[in-house]
Chain A
Amino acid sequence: MEDLWFASASEIARRITGRSVTAVEVAEAFLKHIAVHDRLLNSFLNVMTDQALDAAQRVDDALRAGRPPGPLAGVPVAVKDLIDIAGMPTTAGAHRRFHTMAHEDAPVVTRLRDAGAIIVGKTGLHEFAYGVTNANPHAGSVRNPWDRSRTPGGSSGGSAAAVAAGFCAAALGSDTGGSIRIPASLCGITGLKPTYGTVPTSGVVPLSWALDHLGPLTRTASDAGLLFSVLAAIPRPAEEIGRGIAGLRIGIPRHFFWEELDPEVEAACRQAVGTLAAQGAAVLDVVIPHAQDAGAAATLILSVEAAAYHERRLREHGEAFGEDVRAKLDRGLFVSAVDYILAQRARAFLTREFIQTLRGIDVLVTPTTITPAAPLEGSDQTASSLAMSQEYTRFTYPFNLTGLPALSVPCGFTAQGLPIGLQIAGRPRDEATVLRVGHTYQQVTEWHLRRPTLD
């Protein structure tokens, strides 16, 4: 059964549907793995043992009764703990004063359950999803499975660490400035931020209504497509994903997106572009003239919207926030309405610029992050947390601002054994092409198959 810990979601569903293993056996194996090893990583805030076993039993019952169990039959999935699951607290990684009890499932959880997925637990995050380190003063830090002294990235760091460690085959994350793609990159897994609005965000603690996205963290791009089809309630783009990339036009925005990189990140990502070219894609240099301003617009919008959502909590219980998150929230109270609208206008301007660039190409390819995973030590300090947010969101923010779909896939490791991620972004609602590039890359590379040593 241990061979399934690192199997893809589709492989697990195939074996359960084919009756070579039961959903209960799979759930038990994953729950045991979590129980033994998660004390090292702290990726889960809540493990839902009884609920998972009950759900697995229902999948097995459906199979015995000849009812279709769904495309995620028996697949263990974890859920970031800002997404409501009925009967469970939603902590948002915050002080217990701010925890709420969910009375119904968020729509994304309902869709996962309807597809046969087994929810195994709720994962840790940066407080209120407002940061990239996952150093959390309330719940403790989540640790990177590849080096436990380092950050898993965030804010969906628990979800990424759990998938990387083999605690689940997939996980749900949210992404407001890079919070799916950054931890996917730093933990050596695959993460998809879909097009803005394609996956419902109700039943989820918001950070910024204009920038929030939900999406899957998985082992493979193919699995990301499977999860995305369930979350967005659309047909699975399996055929499209498997078409190969011969003739596809890949744009490389060298200005801004390929500057100031860690040398090992740059080398790995350049090699990945070469691999894509070898598969028949045309690689073209492109220029997005004002790409470097996307982070400014996104930061202003996020600051104001997060402050608006948390204003009452800041007034009444400001002491209950971690220092870094409180500073980020407080700053939003000082932005003028004119500056907020200025940022929204900049967003329209930049979105037009990105989409115009994508008229001549099929996807943009960039590094996901400027550097690999940083040490956790000191990352809980306000100045460090703020600096890391700026650094790690540099290449991911633009796709939150513009709402374009973006995928991170593993593309190498540093000499110290830290994962490196490649970002692939595409046109609005063209997840299929983005996933097609990621899948083709994973057909000819093995970075996504590497496993961390947990003992």
Chain B
Amino acid sequence: MTERNDPATLTREQLEVIARTRGYEFSPDRLTAVLPEVRRLRALAGRLRMLPLDDLPPAMTFTPP
């Protein structure tokens, strides 16, 4: 497996395919409005991948202490 991880290359057409795969139909205007935000969220996830998270114990909690 390889990862295509450049958020800036995500196109509206690709976003439409993802939406349909997940069972959503968006109007063209809504897809256009959300595209920059989806790109931004992907870039944020990319930042988090740089954190040394694998140094953590594997147990997970979903709320703060």
Complex interface: chain B residues within 8 A of A403 (CB): 63-65
A378 contacts partner chain B, Cβ-Cβ < 8 Å: no
Interface of B is mostly: helix
CB distance from A395 to the nearest CB of B (A): 17
Whether A300 contacts B64 by the Cβ 8 Å rule is: no
Task: Judge whether B19 and A334 touch: CB under 8 Å.
Answer: yes
B51 adjacent to A330 (CB under 8 Å): no
**Which B residue's beta carbon lies closest to that of A211?**
B64
- Which of A96-104, A241-249, A291-299 lies at the interface? A291-299
One digit per residue, 1 when the CB lies within 8 angstroms of any chain B CB and 0 when it does not, for chain A 382-412 equals 1000100000000000000111100000000
A355 within 8 A of B: yes
Greatest chain B CB density within 10 A among A339, A352, A404 is at A339
- Most chain A CB atoms below 10 A, which of B22, B30, B34, B44: B44
Residues of A within 8 A of B24 (CB): 315, 333
* A-chain residues with CB within 8 Å of residue B53 when the two chains form the complex: 342, 345-346, 349
A19 contacts the other chain (CB 8 A): no
Count residues of chain B with CB under 8 A from any CB of chain A: 29
Contact in complex: A342, B48 (CB < 8 Å): yes
**Contact with B60, one of A326, A344, A382 (Cβ below 8 angstroms):** A344
What CA separation (Å) do A333 and B26 show in the bound complex? 11
Closest chain B residue to A330, Cβ basis: B34
Are A318 and B30 in contact (CB-based, < 8 A)?
A: yes
- The CA of A344 and the CA of B60, in the complex, are separated in Å by 8
Decide if A428 is an interface residue (CB 8 Å cutoff). yes
Contact: B47 with A293, CB < 8 Å? yes
Which residues of chain B from 24 to 61 have any CB-CB distance to chain A below 8 Å in the complex? 24, 26, 30, 33-34, 37-38, 40-42, 44-45, 47-49, 51-53, 56, 60-61
Q: Which residues of B contact A345 (CB under 8 A)?
A: 53, 56, 60
Question: Which of B33, B42, B61 sits near A327, CB closer than 8 Å?
Answer: B33
Bound together, the chains give a CA A210 to CA B63 distance in angstroms of: 6
Contacts of B49 in A (CB 8 A): 342
Cβ-defined contact, A300 with B63, below 8 A? no
Asked whether A327 lies within 8 Å of B34 as measured between CB atoms, the reply is yes
State A27–B37 Cα separation when bound (angstroms): 46
> 10 A–B contact pairs at CB < 8 A?
A290-B51, A293-B48, A299-B41, A300-B41, A327-B33, A331-B37, A334-B19, A351-B65, A386-B37, A428-B64
Closest 3 CB pairs of A and B: A403-B64, A296-B44, A331-B37
